[in-house]
Structure 1
Amino acid sequence: MNSRSKWIQVEFIKGSRTFTNLCWACTLVCGSIGFFLVGFSSCVGKNMIPLFSSKQIAFLPQGLVMCFYGIAGLSLGFYLGCTIFWDVGGGYNYFDKQEGFSSIFRWGFPGKNRRIRIRLALKDVEAVGLKSQEGLFPSRILYLKVRGRRSIPLTRIGENLTLEDMEEKAAELARFLRVSIEGF
């Protein structure tokens, strides 16, 4: 959901709280539990999963490796679940022409720098840029070119918008800020 008026424009950025990430986390946790239970069953000698027999699996080395993969998968699933819960990368881009400032806000990992906020004057914005890389894994990033600073990305890294949509987004923001567009 984006909001726009004559003087203010707000664009909300979706973080890691997506349906795809949730599906991957659930799949990873379920598969990891299965691996761990089969490995542990081979150690104990008792079937922990009723449908699968672990009698043919020797604990050394197959059962031990399956336990390792189960623990590693659970760790990755827990990490992905935490990033979803904390909505890492989510936030907003706020542009206020009346006050003459811009605020870019993102959520990070818990700790001292959980809230990432960049506040800058609109008079320092030189251009709106679009960086596009085509190929097997295409990536398109919309960014602000600011005087005296590095370029500030405005879109998510994994955002899969077409080149036309990104160009339209860049043109709309450049018109709103009354700056040029670069990188085409």
Structure 2
Amino acid sequence: MAASTQSAESQSLQRAVLGARRLSNMFWAVVLSLGGAGFFLAGLSSYLGRNLLPFSDPTQLVFIPQGIAMGFYGVAALGLATYLWLVIALDVGGGYNQFDKANNQVRIVRHGFFGDNRHIEIEHPLDQITAIRVAIKEGLNPKRALYLKIKGRPDIPLTRVGQPIPLAELENQGAELARFLQVPLEGL
């Protein structure tokens, strides 16, 4: 959860959730774009017999099999880069968690791809919330997340996907949310 806003009367709490617009995703999109363009131009240069790259001379490559392999790798990398740029532009996975005491409702919104059927929106009464659960798993693939426990439903994740949140920040967010909702904090 990236940002938090709370109303003056302490009736509403809204937290933004970071989606695909992360620095790491942008880094990999740039790397894939540049690398894919280089490989594609190298393959095309070997086919045309003209140098299209300013830093090397791929015209010396034999088109079959080297040039065609370079072109294939370039097209694959450019395809992945296009997908990654699209995910970043749409901010897939981003959204917010809103807890509104005045309306007795929790609203969890996440952005998806195109159309209404790819947009996730969950609304539930606040009095159905039983606890806030903290899940911590260390090791090679660490996981630190907050979950909303609701009667009769599976736990709903409240934190971003991907890079784990620092432990102190996770504990503070969980404690703040449990205090605001007046429910127990589990898992610490």
| TM-score, normalised with respect to structure 2 | 0.93
What runs of 5+ residues in structure 2 fail to find an aligned partner? none
1:57 is displaced (CA, Å) by 1.6
Task: Report the Cα distance in structure 1 between the residues aligned to 2:55 and 2:135, rounded to whole angstroms.
Answer: 51
Task: Report the Cα distance in structure 2 between the residues aligned to 1:55 and 1:110, rounded to whole angstroms.
Answer: 42
1:28 is displaced (CA, Å) by 0.8
Amino acid at match of 2:167: L
Task: Report the Cα distance in structure 2 between the residues aligned to 1:82 and 1:98, rounded to whole angstroms.
Answer: 37
Residue 129 of structure 1 corresponds to 133
Residue 166 of structure 2 corresponds to 162
Deviations 1:20-64 (A, max 9, x none): 322221221111000000011111211111321113321111111
SS state of the match for residue 50, structure 2?
coil
Task: Report the Cα distance in structure 2 between the residues aligned to 1:112 and 1:99, rounded to whole angstroms.
Answer: 24
Task: Report the Cα distance in structure 2 between the residues aligned to 1:112 and 1:165, rounded to whole angstroms.
Answer: 33
Residue 40 of structure 1 corresponds to 44
Task: Report the Cα distance in structure 2 between the residues aligned to 1:169 and 1:51, rounded to whole angstroms.
Answer: 50
What runs of 5+ residues in structure 1 fail to find an aligned partner? none
Task: Report the Cα distance in structure 1 between the residues aligned to 2:62 and 2:112, rounded to whole angstroms.
Answer: 44
Residue 4 of structure 1 corresponds to 6
Q: 1:18 aligns with which of 19, 22, 35?
A: 22
Amino acid at match of 2:6: R
| TM-score, normalised with respect to structure 1 | 0.95
Where does structure 1 differ by over 2 angstroms across 4 or more consecutive aligned residues?
none
SS state of the match for residue 103, structure 1?
strand
SS state of the match for residue 113, structure 1?
helix
Q: 1:144 aligns with which of 141, 144, 148?
A: 148
SS state of the match for residue 5, structure 2?
strand
Amino acid at match of 1:111: G
Residue 27 of structure 1 corresponds to 31
1:98 is displaced (CA, Å) by 2.1
Residue 61 of structure 1 corresponds to 65
Q: 2:98 aligns with which of 60, 72, 94?
A: 94
Task: Report the Cα distance in structure 2 between the residues aligned to 1:111 and 1:91, rounded to whole angstroms.
Answer: 15
